[in-house]
């Protein structure tokens, strides 16, 4: 039976959780932000509701920039990652009850292989998707966007297609039509850099991309990415949907806006990366016992510094540890200039008590 995949993405997740718990926020522009420290508005926007988005506010934007765009009555709240992670885990537990192969992809996304559950039938698949949305609405008061299609890439794109509160079903015979006129950046895995490179070759839509030969794509991107783009642009990149093995460590490295050794400037970028890694960690079933700072210098040396953290440490505690590690590192060498920075959570331990298996030993 050909595969049928369902992809679920919770709408403006962090901000929506705040709205649900505080209904008077509804209708006002709302941003949930990671505050990076020193000044009262240094940090970045993590999640913005759709009212705030109408003013041009986006996730990843500095709080200062968002404030300039937003009207007086807007609400700006600090992230409560531990809380969103708890809500996320409860939602994922609800999805597991459908008894299909399921993979949690992030704090607000999951993918399910519903082929068997719907007997390979797209009418049934649509009913299934409606049921999933109803359950999340009934149990959590949250809307989500769901996509259904013949593989994970298509299901994800279908979920993105009509946000918020969307449901898009792309049957196999409609795949080509669905993909043809979408901009290449809508294809998962195509970031700003790939988009620019493709534009230089007049490749703007996924239809354009699907007309390229494998050889041409290999010249531009190397074999691995070419293989993906070749199949995905034709709607036939297929993946088995299964649970991921538990992580051993979790990290995120980002490039600074410019080379610097200013603690505040580094922390601004590092806070955003840390919050992303932290939310991935929080939505897994693990606590970290160590936090690592990764610093890549302008001479392309990689330096790491590590500290112990409390199991279940809050994002604020994690950021304080990182700030300390960073300050100490910069004090050791006054010529040190940083180009990229990152964070690594390690020494992962299961959230619910001890396991008998000692596979999570640190190292």
* Minimum distance of ligand DCP from residue 251's CB (angstroms): 16
Q: Is 11 one of the binding residues for ligand DCP (CB under 6 A)?
A: yes
Interface with ligand DCP in residues 16-45 (CB under 6 A): none
Q: Which does 14 bind (CB under 5 to 8 A by kind): ligand DCP, Ca ion, none?
A: ligand DCP
* Minimum distance of Ca ion from residue 235's CB (angstroms): 21
Q: Mutual orientation of helices 192-200 and 214-221 as an angle, nearest 10°?
A: 120
Hey, CA dihedral for 77, 79, 80, 85, is it positive or negative?
positive
Binding residue (CB under 6 A) for ligand DCP from 3, 4, 8, 47: 47
Binding residue (CB under 5 A) for Ca ion from 19, 108, 268, 276: 108
End-to-end CA separation in angstroms for the chain: 44
Total site size for ligand DCP, rule CB under 6 A: 17
CA distance linking residue 263 with residue 269, whole number of Å: 10
CA distance linking residue 280 with residue 84, whole number of Å: 11
* Minimum distance of ligand DCP from residue 44's CB (angstroms): 7
Tell me, yes or no, if 109 is annotated catalytic: yes
Residue 198 burial (CB < 10 Å; 0-12/13-18/19+)?
buried
CA distance linking residue 92 with residue 103, whole number of Å: 9
Q: Which is nearer to ligand DCP, 268 or 276 (CB)?
A: 276
Q: Is 204 one of the binding residues for ligand DCP (CB under 6 A)?
A: no
Binding residue (CB under 6 A) for ligand DCP from 3, 7, 8, 13: 13
- Residue 123: helix, strand or coil by DSSP? helix
The residue from 24, 72, 73, 109 that is catalytic is 109
CA distance linking residue 230 with residue 65, whole number of Å: 38
Q: Is 9 one of the binding residues for Ca ion (CB under 5 A)?
A: yes
Q: Is 46 one of the binding residues for ligand DCP (CB under 6 A)?
A: yes
Alpha helices for 191-243 (secondary structure H): 192-200, 206-210, 214-221, 223-233
User: Which spans of this chain sit near Ca ion (rule: CB under 5 A)?
Assistant: 9-10, 13, 108-109
User: Which spans of this chain sit near ligand DCP (rule: CB under 6 A)?
Assistant: 9-14, 46-47, 59-60, 107-108, 163-164, 275-276, 279
């Amino acid at each position: 039976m050909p595969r049928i995949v369902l992809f679920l993405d919770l709408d403006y997740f962090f901000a929506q959780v705040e709205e649900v718990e505080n209904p008077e926020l509804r209708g006002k522009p709302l941003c949930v932000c990671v505050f990076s420290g020193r000044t009262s508005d240094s940090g970045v926007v993590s999640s913005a509701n759709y009212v705030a988005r109408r003013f041009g506010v986006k996730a990843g934007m500095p709080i200062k920039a968002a404030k300039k765009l937003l009207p007086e009555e807007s609400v700006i709240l600090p992230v409560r990652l531990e809380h969103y992670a708890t809500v996320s885990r409860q939602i994922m537990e609800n999805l597991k009850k459908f008894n299909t192969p399921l993979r949690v992809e992030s704090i607000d996304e999951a993918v399910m292989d519903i082929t068997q559950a719907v007997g390979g039938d797209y009418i049934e698949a649509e009913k299934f998707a409606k049921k999933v949305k109803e359950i999340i609405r009934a149990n959590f008061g949250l809307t989500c966007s769901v996509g259904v299609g013949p593989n994970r890439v298509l299901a994800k794109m279908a979920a993105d297609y009509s946000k918020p509160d969307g449901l898009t079903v792309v049957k196999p015979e409609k795949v080509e039509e669905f993909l043809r006129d979408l901009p290449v950046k809508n294809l998962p895995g195509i970031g700003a850099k790939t988009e620019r490179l493709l534009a230089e070759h007049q490749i703007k839509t996924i239809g354009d991309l699907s007309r390229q030969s494998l050889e041409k794509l290999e010249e531009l991107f190397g074999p691995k990415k070419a293989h993906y783009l070749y199949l995905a642009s034709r709607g036939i990149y297929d993946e088995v949907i299964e649970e991921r093995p538990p992580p051993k460590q979790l990290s995120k490295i980002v490039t600074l806006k410019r080379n610097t050794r200013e603690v505040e400037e580094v922390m601004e970028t590092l806070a955003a990366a840390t919050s992303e890694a932290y939310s991935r960690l929080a939505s897994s079933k693990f606590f970290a016992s160590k936090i690592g700072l990764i610093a890549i210098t302008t001479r392309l040396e990689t330096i790491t510094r590590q500290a112990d953290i409390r199991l279940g440490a809050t994002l604020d505690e994690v950021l304080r540890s990182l700030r300390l590690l960073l300050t100490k590192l910069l004090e050791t060498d006054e010529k040190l200039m940083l180009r990229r920075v990152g964070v690594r959570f390690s020494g992962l331990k299961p959230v619910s008590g001890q396991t008998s298996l000692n596979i999570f030993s640190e190292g």
